């Protein structure tokens, strides 16, 4: 090797390592994300479980905030918007789970987000993707939607309220993905951005909890205290990884890869919640795996 070529080769090698790290880190985050959703579904009271999860996220974040520099000033409007959107996402998710199965609500709530994110990324953020990556996003999004439309129970028998709340959750998912992708890049410190966002999210959920349930809400959380703590920690770490990944790779690709969490959710639904497995769901799983392979190639 010519010594003049060494710096370029070294940079390419480092980029390959970073890409591999991002890839597997986001897959791990997807598993954790599906995990906390399954834990919430197992809870006695969906609202209490997710509210407690949010308070745990906020509490852990407040402990960690002093150890990181403040996000850049340009990121604060995005951070504030993100906290509000995340709170809305959780409130819609609670209502969706009250009316449908995990294996159906979860994929439907996530399936449209990669496509919407890709469109916004291309049109407004300036990200460019080769055809292979666009096909990968399409495979993952299609697989996620197919898993929902043919999973658990047939769409025609899905309660209308479950469909409405799940689609509303999907809109929040796409919104916070774009906002956090931009905000994390502007912040200069994705870790601090994550912690401040979850602290704000916790504040808004706390206000809503007092408004809807008063002080009695906290007594209702006692039976799921440990579950909420574990789910909150899983959710915090999972999204911490994703926000970091937004600063290292195109937002749309990270968003699509994150939605592989539906594979883990499907397994959790089948083996933990005893939900029905059908062949269309396995076809959907194959589509998602094909998309993951195309992203990695």
Q: At what angle do helices 251-258 and 6-42 cross, to 10 degrees?
A: 40
Q: What DSSP line would sit under 123-165, residue for residue?
A: III-----HHHHHHHHHHHHHHHHHHHTSSS-GGGS-HHHHHH
Mean pLDDT by 10 residues, the chain (297 residues): 48 61 76 70 69 91 95 96 93 82 69 75 74 82 72 58 82 90 94 96 92 78 79 88 89 81 73 71 80 76
- Collapsing DSSP to helix, strand or coil, 297 comes out as coil
In terms of pTM, does the model score above 0.85?
Answer: no
What crossing angle do the helices spanning 6-42 and 102-111 adopt, rounded to 10°?
A: 140
What letter does residue 273 receive in the DSSP assignment?
Answer: S
User: In whole angstroms, what is the distance from residue 192 CA to residue 196 CA?
Assistant: 6
Predicted confidence at residue 151, as pLDDT, reads 47
Predicted confidence at residue 2, as pLDDT, reads: 43
Give the model's pLDDT for residue 56. 92
pLDDT of 43:
58
CA atoms within 13 A on the CB side of 41: 25
């Amino acid at each position: 090797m010519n010594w003049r070529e060494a710096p370029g080769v070294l940079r390419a090698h480092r980029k390959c390592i970073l890409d591999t790290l991002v890839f597997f880190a986001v897959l791990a985050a997807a598993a954790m994300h599906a995990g906390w959703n399954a834990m919430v579904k197992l809870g006695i009271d969906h609202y209490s479980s997710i509210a407690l999860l949010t308070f745990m996220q906020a509490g852990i974040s407040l402990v960690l905030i002093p150890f990181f520099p403040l996000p850049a000033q340009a990121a604060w409007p995005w951070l504030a918007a993100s906290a509000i959107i995340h709170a809305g996402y959780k409130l819609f998710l609670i209502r969706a789970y009250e009316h449908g199965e995990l294996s159906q609500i979860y994929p439907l709530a996530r399936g449209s987000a990669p496509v919407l994110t890709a469109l916004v990324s291309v049109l407004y953020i300036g990200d460019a993707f080769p055809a292979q990556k666009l096909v990968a996003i399409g495979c993952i999004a299609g697989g996620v939607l197919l898993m929902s439309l043919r999973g658990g129970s047939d769409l025609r028998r899905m309660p209308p309220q479950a469909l409405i709340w799940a689609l509303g959750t999907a809109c929040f998912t796409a919104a916070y993905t774009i906002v956090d992708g931009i905000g994390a890049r502007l912040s200069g410190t994705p870790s601090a951005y994550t912690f401040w966002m979850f602290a704000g999210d916790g504040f808004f959920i706390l206000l809503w909890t007092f408004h809807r349930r008063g002080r009695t809400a906290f007594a209702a959380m006692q039976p799921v205290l440990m579950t909420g703590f574990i789910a909150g920690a899983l959710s915090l770490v999972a999204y911490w990884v994703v926000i970091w990944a937004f600063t290292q790779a195109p937002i749309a690709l990270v968003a699509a890869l994150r939605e592989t969490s539906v594979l883990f959710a499907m397994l959790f639904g089948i083996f933990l919640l005893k939900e029905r497995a059908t062949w269309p769901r396995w076809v959907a799983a194959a589509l998602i795996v094909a998309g993951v392979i195309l992203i990695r190639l």
